[in-house]
Structure 1
Amino acid sequence: MNAELSSIQRRARIHAALGDPARLAIVDTLTLGDASPGEIARSLDLPTNLVAHHLKVLQEAGVLVRTRSEGDRRRTYLRLEPAALASLTSPPLPDVTRVVFVCTHNSARSQLAAALWAQRTSIPATSAGTQPADRVHPRAVAVAGRHGLLINATGTAHVADVVHDTDLIVAVCDNAHEDLTGGVRPRLHWSVPAPADTDAAFEATFAELAARVDRLAPALTPDPGPTPAQRTGANHD
């Protein structure tokens, strides 16, 4: 009975935290990608002190956690705790025709994310880097192989050679998110830490990317393309 009461109290705390419209808007912002407090304030046009208050309430309820940026160590990013929000659905992103996963070297996280995406959905995907390496990390190739996925060990690319205006860009590392400030800007950011050079670390990164891919995929609506009438130029008006 005590365990049941504890569970009810935790759920009640989460529901209470989500009862404020601004806090629910913050959760919507973080459902598909991570963001810094300043990015949330700008996105929702809220004062930073009010955002700080709402984030404190959400964090105390176990809805989100903070992580330190691997790029600018003064910056923190916020991410949702999926288990706390299992009953929430992701806001839809309609008419996405291709997804491009981007990290710095295009040698591990972005490659794994694209391979996972190809396994789980029919929407095309590829990957790129802001400073691509010559080869994919051998442990990334190995962990993909252990899970039945194939990665081209020499298939790295630069964002400038890959990204189109209509692509959904997902930055899967902090440095890529912070570097893409020009014409190519990520629409989503996944603050996935760089794996240490061990098989266990790459397995953990693979698992986190798989969970995030599984959360994003149902939120995308494939573009159905032109109807037969549109392809033939028929007009029935």
Structure 2
Amino acid sequence: MNVELFSLGARARVHAALGDPARLAIVDALTLGDASPGEIGHDLGLPTNLVAHHVKVLQDAGLVTRTRSEGDRRRTYLRLVPGVLATLAPPKPAGAERVVFVCTHNSARSQLAAALWRDRVGGPVASAGTHPAARVHPRAVKVAHRHGLALDPAGTAHVADVVHDGDLVIAVCDNAHEDLTAPGGPVRPRLHWSVPDPVRAGTDAAFEAAYTDIADRITRVAPAVGAAPSSSPDRNQHS
């Protein structure tokens, strides 16, 4: 595929082309198979002139191409250009040797994120804090246990002792992100997840909400960094 299709301008043209309901319907129809413009017009109830207009827009955006029929040479068929729809996704971050989740105290959000990543995705993962607490918060241990995950109550660490070159650092709280991105910060996170601090609320519901937020984000982000999250949300959830 033409490398230019991966540019922001080309992706914007594809998005714009798909912004019309009729063009989106044409792309939907061509996802499963090829069709002539006449067949598209018949199936979608569009007049010939509108089909021609929409097809031209889709062609200009690089989404659709025409091929000549091997039977009736007067007829053409429309087909989707392979892979163009995949370019709508943002570029993947550069590869990382390990994922490191960071929050302020390394006592709840970063611990849950690392445990979830380890369980659902696998591969090297760690957590750390900008101002680590002495122990993992008991409610974090509790919510992890409820979802079949294990946390070491004493397993907190400082970011300077954990993060190395080549790590994908994900700040899972605002304070840690702002500390790390300040001038002279020890490391700059590549991603920031603004997960509310459950310790402030101090309730089981707040910790459960943080767990759910992080789990949803891992499901979205893991494929973008070349990992495949497990399809099973919890291996051993119980009350």
1:171 aligns with 2:171: yes
Taking the aligned partners of 2:89 and 2:122, their CA distance within structure 1 comes to 20
Take 1:148 and 1:164, find their aligned partners in 2: how far apart are those partners? 29
Instruction: Identify the match of residue 221 of structure 1 among 216, 222, 226.
Output: 226
Q: Give, in angstroms, the shift of residue 127 of structure 1.
A: 0.2
- In the alignment, what sits opposite 1:95? 95
Q: Is the 8 A contact 1:90 1:216 kept in 2?
A: no
Amino acid paired to 1:194: D
RMSD: 2.1
For the 8 Å contact 1:96–1:221, the answer to whether it is kept is no
Amino acid in structure 2 at the alignment position of 1:156: T
> Is the CA contact 1:94–1:221 (under 8 Å) kept in the aligned structure 2?
no
- The answer as to whether partners of 1:90 and 1:215 remain within 8 angstroms in 2 is no
Note if contact 1:140-1:202 (Cα within 8 Å) is conserved in structure 2: yes
State which structure, 1 or 2, has the greater radius of gyration over its C-alpha atoms. 2
Shift, 1:220, TM fit: 1.2
Paired residues of 2:160 and 2:186 also in contact (CA < 8 A): no
Kindly state the Cα deviation for residue 120 of structure 1 after the two structures are TM-superposed.
Answer: 1.1
Q: Deviations over 1:16-62 (max 9, x none)?
A: xx649xxxxxxxxxxxxxxxxxxxxxxxxxxxxxxxxxxxxxxxxxx
Which residue of 2 is the match for residue 211 of structure 1? Answer: 216
Structure 1 runs of 4+ off > 4 angstroms?
Answer: none
What is the CA–CA distance in structure 1 between the aligned matches of 2:134 and 2:152, rounded to whole Å?
A: 12
The residue identity in structure 1 corresponding to 2:149 is L
CA distance in 2, matches of 1:139, 1:156: 15
The 3-state SS of whatever aligns with 1:221 is coil
Q: TM-score, normalising length from structure 1?
A: 0.56
CA apart distance, 1:97: 1.4
Shift of 1:96: 1.5
Say if 2:123 is the partner of 1:118. no
Please give the per-residue CA displacement for 1:64-113, whole angstroms capped at 9, x wherever unaligned: xxxxxxxxxxxxxxxxxxxxxxxx64532242210000000000000000
For structure 2, the residue ranges without an aligned partner over 5 or more in a row are: 1-11, 18-87, 228-239
Q: Does 1:148 align with 2:148?
A: yes
- Taking only the aligned residue pairs, the percentage that are identical comes to 66
Task: Give yes or no for contact 1:106–1:127 (8 Å, CA) kept in 2.
Answer: yes
Q: How high is the TM-score relative to the length of structure 2?
A: 0.55
Q: 5+ residue gaps in structure 1?
A: 1-14, 21-87, 223-237
- Please give the residue correspondences for 1:21-170 in structure 2 after superposition, counting only pairs within 5 Å: 89=89, 91-170=91-170
Asked if structure 1 preserves the Cα contact closer than 8 Å seen for 2:112 and 2:144, the reply is yes
